[in-house]
Copies of this chain bind each other. A is one copy, B any other.
Amino acid sequence: MTASTLTVFGTERAVPEVTIERLSIYSRVLRSLELSGRETISSAGLARHTPYAAAQIRRDLAWFGQFGTRGKGYDVTNLRRQLDVILGVHVTRRAALIGAGNLGLALLGYTGFREHNFEFAAAFDANRQKVGTYAQGVRIYAMSEIAAVVADTDIEIAVLAVPAVAAQDCADAAVRAGIKALLNFAPTQLSVPDGVQVRNVDLSVELEHLSYFLERRQERIGRIASSDPP
């Protein structure tokens, strides 16, 4: 069974999303090992550089094939390359920014996109004043132009950096224009048709999670201080 058939036909289980996230982290660790001159590493060695167990790593890799040598471990460069092929990071992907406000402009300037072979080919904004101008060398279009621009430029990804109230409408427009992957920075759950991938970067959820933790911590300290019964 090849990786490509995994999710498609009938009974095979799909690769869990968390596995993909870990693959990305393995790739990163391998890159730094490569730089340090290391040539080979075991799953146990890799585990020491991550929060994951060796068995977890081997099982994650098993979804995609066999990459190691028994008794020896993995070739650092080879494994890194294979992971990068699996993750598809060698291919340049064109993206559209939707929402050229503060966050959007910061994202346009963020080098991480380029480093991951993402290329902003267009930006869209509701503000008439901005339409026709350029930011970071990227032209800003009106939302109404999205279908035409996406079709013209092979854009596959939309990066949503609009206010929460506008996010669903923008996502709908992007999907209608043929976009298949969305990176959503708006604090809302988007609903999209099957076959469209959404990843959320939700600062609200992160901040509330930290709040929760600190609040609980206070309580724990309070209870210990006052010697409450166990």
A residues contacting B by CB (< 8 A) are 4-5, 7-10, 17, 20-21, 23-25, 27-28, 49-51, 86-89, 91, 93, 102-103, 106, 109-110, 112-113, 116-118, 156-157, 180-181, 183, 187-189, 195, 197, 199, 201, 203-217, 219-220, 223, 230
Least CB distance, A137 to chain B, in whole angstroms: 16
Stoichiometry, as copies per complex, reads: 2
Q: In whole angstroms, what is the CA distance A181 to B210 when docked?
A: 7
Bound: A117/B9 CA distance, A: 48
CB neighbours of A4 from chain B (8 A): 216, 219-220, 223
- Min CB gap A51→B, angstroms: 6
CA distance A64 to B113 in the complex (A): 40
Q: What's the nearest-Cβ distance from chain B to residue A94, in Å? A: 11
- Alpha-carbon separation in the docked complex, A150 to B7 (Å): 50
Q: Which residue of B lies closest to A88 (CB)?
A: B215
- Extra pairs beyond A20-B212, A25-B189, A183-B210 (10, CB < 8 Å): A4-B220, A24-B209, A49-B189, A87-B211, A88-B215, A89-B208, A112-B187, A116-B204, A183-B206, A201-B206
Q: Please tell me which one of the listed residues B28, B113, B203, B208 contacts residue A87 in the complex, with CB atoms under 8 A apart.
A: B208
Report the nearest B residue to A182, measured CB to CB: B210
| A214 contact from B17, B93, B206, Cβ within 8 A | B93
**In the complex with contacts A51-B189, A103-B110, A24-B208 CB distance below 8 A:** yes
Which residues in B have their C-beta under 8 angstroms from that of A203?
A: 110, 112-113, 201
Chain B residues within an 8 Å CB radius of A207: 112-113, 116, 118, 183
Nearest CB in chain B: distance from A203 CB, A:
5
Alpha-carbon distance between A89 and B87 when the two chains are bound, in angstroms: 37
Q: How far is the CB of A83 from chain B (nearest CB, A)?
A: 9
Smallest beta-carbon distance A64→chain B, Å: 11
CA distance A104 to B165 in the complex (A): 26
A50 partner residues in chain B, CB cutoff 8 A: 189
